[in-house]
Structure 1
């Protein structure tokens, strides 16, 4: 019974990471495309909250539930796919942390532009390009981790 609860939480965490990540990317991109500072501000404000509530929770839960599952299944922690997963998890985190900061800064810049009734500033556009670029290795790492969890390749 405990095994199924831990497995459920682990799979749910992976879904939350992928789902929240793709949802955040979609809504931020769509808001950005409008060029409307107010729309970007409101979207980024919600995205930052979602990242802290959902993504941060899953980020903490994933390694804990993954370790518990490995122990319950008797998987040796020396398997390469586990180490590759952990390395990719670190890569994802190294890209995710700056992305959260960028989202907060873009939110603030959009809020300032909205209050001053001015276009989104060049700093916002520079951060958006970086945010967009950081999403590929960050999200890609999580997608590969999910594949590794399912396939458990022997390499």
Structure 2
């Protein structure tokens, strides 16, 4: 029973990370395409809240449930797929942490532009490009981790 509960919580956490990341990327991209500073500000505000509430919670619990699940199933930390998963988790974190700050800054810049009834400033667009590019390795690492969790390859 403990194994199944841990497995459920771990899969749920992975689903939240992947789903929230996908949703956030979609909504930010769609808001950005409007070039409407007020709309971007509102969307980015919700995105920042969702990232801090859902993604941060899941990101915090994943290593805990993963470790407990691994221990319960009898896997060693030295298993190649575990080592690769942890390395990719680090990669995902290296790209996700700046993205959270970038989203908050984009929100602030959009709010300022909306308050002045001005277009989104060049700084916003620079941050958006970085945010967009950082999404690929961050999201790719999460997708690869999911594959490693399922396949457990020995390399």
Given the two structures, how large is their TM-score scaled by the length of structure 2?
0.99
- In the alignment, structure 2 segments of 5+ residues that lack a partner are none
- In structure 2, the residue matched to 1:72 is 72
Q: Is 1:96 aligned to 2:96, yes or no?
A: yes
Query: How many angstroms does 1:42 deviate by?
Result: 0.2
**Structure 1, residues 6-55: CA drift from partner, whole Å, max 9, x if none?**
11110000000100000000000000000000000000000000000000
Residue correspondences, number:
155
**Structure 1, residues 37-77: CA drift from partner, whole Å, max 9, x if none?**
00000000000000000000010111100000110001122
- In structure 1, the residue matched to 2:57 is 57
Determine the C-alpha separation between the residues in 2 that align with 1:96 and 1:150: 23
SS state of the match for residue 76, structure 1?
Answer: coil
**Structure 1, residues 97-153: CA drift from partner, whole Å, max 9, x if none?**
000000000000000000000000000000000000000000000000000000000
Deviating beyond 2 angstroms after TM superposition, the runs of 4 or more aligned structure 1 residues are none
Determine the C-alpha separation between the residues in 1 that align with 2:92 and 2:125: 23
- In the alignment, structure 1 segments of 5+ residues that lack a partner are none
Query: How many angstroms does 1:83 deviate by?
Result: 0.3
Aligned CA RMSD, in angstroms, stands at 0.5
Q: Is 1:120 aligned to 2:120, yes or no?
A: yes
Query: How many angstroms does 1:78 deviate by?
Result: 1.1
Given the two structures, how large is their TM-score scaled by the length of structure 1?
0.99
SS state of the match for residue 75, structure 1?
Answer: coil
- Equivalence map 1:2-151=2 (5 Å): 2-151=2-151
